[in-house]
Amino acid sequence: MTNPTGSRHVSSLLDGESQHNSELGSITRLTADTFPILKGLSIKRLVLQPGSIREPHWHANADEIGYCLSGTVLISILDNGSSFSSFTIETGQMFVIDSGSLHHIENIGDDEAEIVVVFSHERPEDFSLQAAFGTMSDAVLGNTYDLEASAFTPLVRDTNPRDIVKRSGPAVVPDTAGFNNPHKFDVEAQNPPLQHPYAFVKLARSQFWPALEHLSMYSLTIEDTGMREPHWHPKTAEMGYVHKGNARMSILDPDGTVDTYLLGPGDVYFIPKAYPHQIEVIGDDEIHFLIFFDQPTPGDIGYRASVSAFSRPVLAAAFDVDEATLPVFPFTPTDPLLVAKSNPTDPV
């Protein structure tokens, strides 16, 4: 659903810039080049057909965190110090890859695989392994591997990435690929740390996933009877991907303008650090958002606790009303994050 208001805060990942599109799969992306408000975060949607591979590559300036929407993939990672990992990821599971680490993503299932991938930079830079080989001469490669230079003559020399390639034959999956791994996190298997009858949140942050250094993610589900309370993140930018449902957000910009927009499946929104905003369901169905942050443990300040921090005379002066006119605010020492929707939804 492309936002009809033209808000600078929202764009469609489904209609994003195409990095690759073939019978093997596709990559669409939103970076600061096409979504200028982005800072410190960007996002890609990777679709792999059975037998297709996101070629071995690395990112020069960004950590990567991914969430599997569907399918089964094998991920292999070569980290600094010759540390190697290989593991499978299925629907609802996540992975994290450090900047500069060589990795691949391979569809080893019988169905299409879809993954949402977020980076800790608004313009991530990629290098592929085959392009890196194309940089060097046959003689240099021969010396590297103690082989004759002629051994590398048959290789196609190209410094442009191929992005998605096709596997020949069955996948090679190590027997240990199903084990737990520091790079892997089963967020949807988590017992929600925050749960109400109308909403719940599962948390992929460093408290539960120690491998995270620069990124985190909240899996947020809200029924039509609930709402994400108005709030802001003091030191954290927020980028959300709409997996399911329809919602409305309102954001206050520093110039005093209020940006209100609708969101649907495939949409991405971005909230700069400390901008106040809220999320509510539009319609009768629940929403499921993947909400990514540029910190391993994001912080919140909500409207509920905000008014409890000041005396009623201070609040009356701030709102320019008599103290008797102020609502009777409930004392809230800890923000609830999620609240029940007891009033009718404002018209769309």
Which among 164, 185, 206 is the end of a domain?
185
| Nearest residue to 5 via CA among 253, 247, 260 | 260
Mean pLDDT of the chain: 96
For residues 114 and 260, membership in a common domain is answered with no
What single string gives the DSSP state of each residue in 61-84? Answer: S--EEEEEEESEEEEEEEETTTEE
- What is the reported pLDDT for 4? 45
Q: Is residue 154 part of a domain?
A: yes
For the beta sheet containing 199-204, the strands, ordered from the edge strand earlier in sequence to the opposite edge, are 10-12, 267-271, 238-244, 287-293, 216-222, 199-204, 194-196
Length of the chain: 348
The angle at the Cα of 256, spanning 1 to 242, to the nearest 5 degrees, equals 20
Is 172 in the same domain as 37?
yes
Same domain, yes or no, for 152 and 219? Answer: no
What distance in Å separates the CA atoms of residue 196 and residue 40, rounded to the nearest whole number? 32
In a domain, 346, yes or no: no
Question: pLDDT confidence of 157, banded at 50, 70, 90?
Answer: confident
User: Would you say residue 3 lies in a domain?
Assistant: no
Domain that holds residue 14: 10-185
Are 232 and 333 members of one domain? Answer: yes
Domain count, the chain: 2
**pTM for this structure?**
0.95
Mean pLDDT across 97-102 = 98
Does residue 35 lie in a domain region?
Answer: yes
- Residues 208 and 157 grouped into a single domain: no
Whether the CA torsion 336, 334, 194, 87 is positive or negative: it is positive
User: Is pLDDT above 80 for 3?
Assistant: no
pLDDT tens per residue, range 4-44: 458 999 999 999 999 999 999 999 999 999 999 999 999 99
121, 154, 185: which is the final residue of a domain? 185
> In terms of domains, do 142 and 203 share one?
no
DSSP 8-class letter at 325: G
Residues 208 and 179 in one domain: no
Same-domain pairing of 136 and 202:
no
Task: Write down the pLDDT at residue 156.
Answer: 87
Which CATH number belongs to the domain containing residue 45 in this structure?
A: 2.60.120.10
Among candidate residues 161, 185, 209, the one where a domain is terminated: 185
144 and 196, same domain (yes or no): no
Confidence at residue 296, expressed as pLDDT on a 0 to 100 scale: 97
> pLDDT tens across 119-144, in order?
999 999 999 999 999 999 999 999 99
Q: Is residue 5 part of a domain?
A: no
Inform me whether the pLDDT recorded for 71 exceeds 80. yes
The answer to whether residues 227 and 173 belong to one domain is no
What does DSSP say about strands 113-119 and 194-196: parallel, antiparallel, or unpaired? Answer: unpaired
Q: Over 70: is that where the pLDDT of 2 sits?
A: no
Residue 2 within a domain: no
- Give a yes or no: residue 153 inside a domain: yes
Residue 284: burial class (beta carbons within 10 Å; 0-12, 13-18, 19+): exposed
